[in-house]
Amino acid sequence: MSDYAGVWFRNDVRLTANPALSAASQVNGQQRDIPALLLLCPQQMEAHDWAPIKWDLLCRHLESFVDDAAAKGISLTIEVIDSWSNAAKSVKRFAQKHELTALHYNAEYPLHEQSRDRAVTAVLEEHGISVERHHGSLVVPPVLTTQAGNIYQKFTPFSRAWREYVSQNGIPQTDTLPERTAVAPATMPAVDYPRRDSSAWVVGEKAVQQALRDYLAAPVEGYAAERDIPSLDSTSRLSPYWELGLLSPWQAVSLLAEMSPQFPAGLNKGADTWLNELIWREFYLHLMQHVPRLSHGKAFLQHTDAMRWHRDQTLFEAWCKGETGYPIVDAGMRQLASEGWMHNRVRMIVAHFLVKDLLIDWRWGEKFFMQNLIDGNFAANNGGWQWSASTGTDAAPYFRVFNPTLQSEKVDPDGSYIRKWVKQLKDCPAKQIHAPAAWLKQQGRDDYPTPIVDHKQARERFLAAFKAL
């Protein structure tokens, strides 16, 4: 029997820059189709707090992906399973049905995903089917270590090592599939999971790739100067596509490399700053591979697990609803409620406010973000929340406590962002919009809340609690 390879799609539903798919294609040649499997598990999605808007985005993308895959000779099967514990059984059945000799997949790095993949590999190899793991969601695989052989726990040295690795090894090739005889498109099964409209976001591989090219063609030049100003909306908004695997970071670095022959050096400031954000994403994914406690809801800095967080449900709900009385915090939370997305700088501000002003467990905020964000990525979300809470790797020093009013004045000086999302303040003058209590009183208004906590007192309370550790 000649070699015949299949693909197990997961967070990589794309045809280009997909090393698992490319490897199977090379084995099978152009005369044979490529059997492929996509498993959907709503029970696991619920356990991992998938946002309905994120699920809707994937469903909309799959509508075009099944046709694109069929046109390229990919015989795709989409199956719904009850639990990831059934994944090994489903993958084995799929492999045996197609008489595969090998299966290729792209790695996922949280602990549960690693456990699932080990179980699948063991079952297939027991039946004589080889399994090959690829790293299609990373430019640099999780092999970077310090001179002492340890994982990097600080971003700056990791970034230097990442850039050095790319300088020495080059960037992965974004191969496209050769033409094959078309096959029948897969049928999307019914999935019992809530959906929320994501139509503001493009889907389909061609459209998503064009969005990447459009951003790098010009807007990225202003990224360094404008990325912290939420009213300008100067970020790429590509994060949902990294998370679902509609885009590969390989494609981004390939386009960036066209800007500089010395890549990863030689980029303009905007592009280099944007590249650094991609490296942050890889940093957190590398940590997921190496630090299992992160997948168990534990702090990276183990002594901070003893922090005595408050469990005030009333304050937490005020934060969730954008009713804290701090306009920049409320604007961010209302943007999240409306769009399923929030500007990155504002994410930092609202996270700091929850953990350091309200002294509420960062895990509550982490979960709420995952349940609502269209780009909710476990590794990046966990890393961002632990950074804000001063419990994570390379975290903000615990004594760094954002003043929400000063942050508001800094990132939204004229109040444009606040006015867009906090309608009660749409007529508030810029000088008063960051602390509008006096203006509201002058207007005889009580339709916007007074601050639910005094920042100065809250700061001292947090510092005392953290020092007690």
Structural domains counted in the chain: 3
> What pLDDT, on the 0 to 100 scale, is given for residue 117?
97
Summarised one tens digit per residue, pLDDT across range 33-63 is: 999 999 999 999 999 999 999 999 999 999 9
Q: According to the annotation, is 118 in a ligand binding site?
A: no
Q: According to the annotation, is 279 in a ligand binding site?
A: yes
DSSP secondary structure letters along 81-128: -S-GGGHHHHHHHHHHHTT-SEEEEE---SHHHHHHHHHHHHHHHHTT
Given the structure tokens 């469903």, which residue do they identify? Answer: 59
What proportion of the chain, given as a percentage, has pLDDT over 70? Answer: 100
Q: Which two tokens stand for residue 378?
A: 């476990």
Residue 187 lies in a domain: no
- Would you call 309 a catalytic residue per the annotation? yes
Q: Are 345 and 456 members of one domain?
A: yes
Choosing from 132, 277, 323, 339, the catalytic residue is 277
The domain that contains 442 carries what CATH number? 1.10.579.10
Q: Are 110 and 79 members of one domain?
A: yes
Q: Mean pLDDT over residues 138-147, rounded?
A: 96
- The distance of Cα 321 from the centroid of its chain, to the nearest Å, equals 23
Nearest CA-CA partner of 323 in 431, 454, 450:
450
> What pLDDT, on the 0 to 100 scale, is given for residue 216?
96
Q: According to the annotation, is 369 in a ligand binding site?
A: no
Residue ranges making up the domain that contains 144:
138-176+203-290
Q: Mean pLDDT over residues 18-38, rounded?
A: 96
Say how far apart CA 397 and CA 391 lie, in whole Å.
9
Residue 325 lies in a domain: yes
Q: Are 340 and 214 members of one domain?
A: no
Q: According to the annotation, is 75 in a ligand binding site?
A: no
Residue 280 lies in a domain: yes
pLDDT of 337 higher than 90? yes
Choosing from 8, 50, 280, 387, the catalytic residue is 280
Choosing from 132, 344, 403, 439, the catalytic residue is 344
Q: Are 373 and 319 members of one domain?
A: yes
> What pLDDT, on the 0 to 100 scale, is given for residue 348?
96
Given the structure tokens 């992906």, which residue do they identify? Answer: 65
Structural contact between residues 469 and 306, judged by C-beta atoms closer than 8 angstroms: yes
Q: Mean pLDDT over residues 442-446, rounded?
A: 95
Residue 217 lies in a domain: yes
Q: According to the annotation, is 239 in a ligand binding site?
A: yes
Q: Are 221 and 328 members of one domain?
A: no
Residue with the bigger pLDDT between 393 and 102: it is 102
pLDDT of 158 higher than 80? yes
Q: Are 129 and 243 members of one domain?
A: no
Q: According to the annotation, is 74 in a ligand binding site?
A: no
Residue 184 lies in a domain: no
CA distance to 86, 183, 299, 310, 431, per residue, from 281 (Å): 30, 36, 18, 30, 37
> What pLDDT, on the 0 to 100 scale, is given for residue 176?
81
Choosing from 362, 364, 387, 421, the catalytic residue is 362
Q: According to the annotation, is 282 in a ligand binding site?
A: yes
Of the candidates 104, 136, 168, which is a domain's last residue?
136
Q: What is the largest CA-CA distance in the chain?
A: 84
What proportion of the chain, given as a percentage, has pLDDT over 90? Answer: 96
Q: Are 130 and 143 members of one domain?
A: no
Of the candidates 268, 290, 312, which is a domain's last residue?
290
Summarised one tens digit per residue, pLDDT across range 248-262 is: 999 999 999 999 999
Summarised one tens digit per residue, pLDDT across range 410-423 is: 999 999 999 999 99
Say how far apart CA 261 and CA 343 lie, in whole Å.
32
- Would you call 277 a catalytic residue per the annotation? yes
pLDDT of 314 higher than 70? yes
Residue 279 lies in a domain: yes
Instruction: Give the mean pLDDT of the chain.
Output: 96
- Would you call 250 a catalytic residue per the annotation? no
Structure confidence at residue 126 as a pLDDT band (50, 70, 90): very high
pLDDT of 157 higher than 90? yes
CA distance to 18, 28, 29, per residue, from 180 (Å): 17, 11, 9
Q: According to the annotation, is 281 in a ligand binding site?
A: yes
The domain that contains 95 carries what CATH number? 3.40.50.620
Choosing from 201, 319, 385, 421, the catalytic residue is 385
> What pLDDT, on the 0 to 100 scale, is given for residue 394?
79
The domain that contains 271 carries what CATH number? 1.25.40.80
Q: Are 131 and 147 members of one domain?
A: no
Residue 147 lies in a domain: yes
Choosing from 79, 86, 268, 309, the catalytic residue is 309
Q: Are 209 and 67 members of one domain?
A: no
Q: Are 307 and 436 members of one domain?
A: yes
Of the candidates 114, 136, 158, which is a domain's last residue?
136
Q: Are 132 and 142 members of one domain?
A: no
Q: According to the annotation, is 274 in a ligand binding site?
A: yes
Summarised one tens digit per residue, pLDDT across range 358-403 is: 999 999 999 999 999 999 999 999 999 999 999 998 777 878 899 9
Q: According to the annotation, is 278 in a ligand binding site?
A: yes
Q: Are 113 and 145 members of one domain?
A: no
Helix (H, G, I), strand (E, B) or coil at 9: strand
> What pLDDT, on the 0 to 100 scale, is given for residue 444?
95
Summarised one tens digit per residue, pLDDT across range 159-216 is: 999 999 999 999 998 778 999 999 999 999 999 999 999 999 999 999 999 999 999 9
Residue 198 lies in a domain: no
pLDDT of 1 higher than 80? no
